[in-house]
Amino acid sequence: MSKGTVVLAYSGGLDTSCILVWLKEQGYTVIAYLANIGQKEDFEAARKKAESLGAVKVFIEDIRAEFVQDFIWPAIQANAVYEDRYLLGTAIARPCIARRQVEIARREGAQFVAHGATGKGNDQVRFELSSYALYPEVKVLAPWRIPEFFNRFKGRKDLLDFAAKNGIPVPVTPKAPWSIDANLMHTSYESGILEDPKCRAPADLYVMTRNPEDAPNTPDVLEVEYKNGVPVKVTNVNEGKSKVTPLEIFSYVSDIGAKHGVGRIDIVENRFIGMKSRGIYETPGAHILFNAHLDIELFTMDKEVRRIKQGLGIRFSELVYNGFWYSPECDFVRACIAMSQANVEGKVELSIFKGQVNILGRSSPKSLYNEELVSMDVQGDYDPCDATGFIRINAVRLREHHRLQGLSSKKN
């Protein structure tokens, strides 16, 4: 008698392969779900592996286009950056992966979903909050928090022994001595030798980007066109090549960024769970599009709207980092941010060179920039005499403050 059907977020790796077999051993019927979210992977080999381990069905789902459109684009609109530096490459992928997982679970009549995230990280929270939000009746199995599982698998050696006993093929390439999470947007590295925050990342860690020191000696110049705050076209100005679909745009900009070593960061961040952790990230494409978006946004958006929106962007980043993509507050913030983007439209030209993104110029039909108004050479619709009163009125408060502090030279 099966205990029920579980849709397991399967990666093809050692951990989730052992989890698959262990779940079967516990009496569950297992459906394996492998999301193609842009990671380099032999998906057909993973399908065969899951089948050979006893998954009753295997779903390999290409969710790259929806990842770009429904998740990366809103993050770009928001200028989403967690703790001033992390572009959230893992955090925004989780709700995308979970969304398809619960779709499958509902469709297949599975009562359970399972994942291989550990009990100390953010990803367990993101997977599970997303699952509960989209499939309220679902039951979650998180083996790394189930004592029967984690007491049995105390280290990699136990997983390897279990694999050997159960005919689970073990990857021939030695495992990197750190934990990796990869998708179309970024690759992240944590744990292992990186746990010592002062230990430098080895040069061969990075799988996505070239070392900026080894990058080409000539820049690539891109023109990115935005509409409603999202890229709608990218053109390589020197080569005259253009991309127009979201997935193509994002992939192309990522490749250019990777070629020039753009978007590497090494940070210590605050996990939702309450501890600090050290992570290394490479986010070549989003780094470029983020910078270009900042530029066109500032060019086209009202000053005061932008201030409010900037605060919402920080809230959005925290919500997403903490796993609340599918929450009423995140829906609200996302809708406000989307509304703020109505006029964020135009073209930004930038050079990508030796790890740097430099803005070269911008143009927009919706620009609030008024050359006549700002020009040093033209008076425009502006009377300089008005500035005298403006400055004096602003000075009232400052003069009062300094008078009270006895710093004023005046004696009144």
Residue 258 · residue 208 · CB < 8 Å: yes
Distance CA 347, CA 292 (A): 9
What are the catalytic residues? Answer: 15, 94, 123, 179
For residue 94, the minimal CB distance to ligand ARG (Å) is: 8
For residue 197, the minimal CB distance to ligand ARG (Å) is: 13
Estimate to the nearest angstrom the gap between the alpha carbon of 148 and the chain centroid.
33
375 beta partners: none
181 binds ligand ARG (CB under 6 A): yes
38 binds ligand ARG (CB under 6 A): no
330 binds ligand ARG (CB under 6 A): no
Q: Determine the interface stretch with ligand ARG among 43-51, 186-194, 311-319, 363-371 (rule: CB under 6 A).
A: 186-194
For residue 412, the minimal CB distance to ligand ARG (Å) is: 58
CA distance readout (Å), 121 to 75, 81, 89, 255, 278: 21, 19, 15, 29, 12
Nearer to ligand ARG, 31 or 80 (CB): 80
Pick from 7, 16, 190, 309 the residue near ligand ARG by CB under 6 A. 190
Q: Determine the interface stretch with ligand ARG among 20-28, 188-196, 325-333, 396-404 (rule: CB under 6 A).
A: 188-196
188 binds ligand ARG (CB under 6 A): yes
179 binds ligand ARG (CB under 6 A): yes
Nearer to ligand ARG, 182 or 350 (CB): 182
Cα angle 355, 361, 366; round to 5? 125
Residue appearing with tokens 């399967």: 10
Which residues, 116 to 135, sit near ligand ARG by CB under 6 A? 122-123
For residue 27, the minimal CB distance to ligand ARG (Å) is: 29
Cα angle 84, 338, 371; round to 5? 80
Nearer to ligand ARG, 74 or 279 (CB): 279
How big is the site for ligand ARG, counted in residues (CB under 6 A)?
12
For residue 120, the minimal CB distance to ligand ARG (Å) is: 11
Distance CA 119, CA 142 (A): 8
181 beta partners: 188
Which residues, 86 to 115, sit near ligand ARG by CB under 6 A? 90-91
Residue appearing with tokens 């005046």: 410
Residue 138 · residue 111 · CB < 8 Å: yes
Q: Can you spell out the DSSP letters for 347-387?
A: EEEEEEETTEEEEEEEE-TT----HHHH-SS---S--HHHH
Binding mask 253-292 for ligand ARG (x = CB under 6 A): ------------------------x-x-------------
Residue appearing with tokens 């599009």: 289
Give the binding site for ligand ARG (CB under 6 A): 90-91, 122-123, 179-181, 188-190, 277, 279
